[in-house]
Amino acid sequence: MSVKVMIPTPLRIYAGKRDSAEFSAATVGEALGGLTTQFAELRKHLYTEDGKLRAFVNVYLNDEDIRYLAKENTPTKDGDTISIIPSIAGGSSEKR
């Protein structure tokens, strides 16, 4: 079963400038594992040293946040899309 993992623009530099990659995976975790195996530099941007997804990395299966499903154990099916969405903070506190 093939799932597509969408790679966000800020992380593409670590993934050969690709915007997506496809993997055979039964779970979201397997797909992310395939991604970080194929593009080893991505691992430190997605995971902490103890192997947990970083707090600022949001992962969606189709349109569902995996934090509200089974997290990385969320099952996938053929044709699913996994999106990695890094949180963005900052900006100005000034009103315009």
Whether 8 is covered by a domain: the verdict is: yes
92 in a domain, yes or no? no
pLDDT tens by residue, 45-81:
999 999 999 999 999 999 999 999 999 999 999 999 9
Q: Is residue 58 part of a domain?
A: yes
pTM: 0.89
Q: Does residue 61 lie within any of the structural domains?
A: yes
DSSP state of 8: -
Positive or negative: CA dihedral 37, 40, 45, 48: positive
User: How confident is the prediction for the chain on average, in pLDDT?
Assistant: 93
Q: Is 51 inside any structural domain?
A: yes
HSE, side-chain direction, 13 A CA sphere, residue 4: 9
pLDDT at 88: 75
Domain count for the chain: 1
SS3 55: coil
Cβ atoms within 10 Å, residue 32: 24
Q: Is the pLDDT of residue 25 over 90?
A: yes
**Rounded to 5 degrees, what are φ and ψ at 93?**
-90, -5
Which pair of structure tokens corresponds to residue 83? Answer: 């999106």
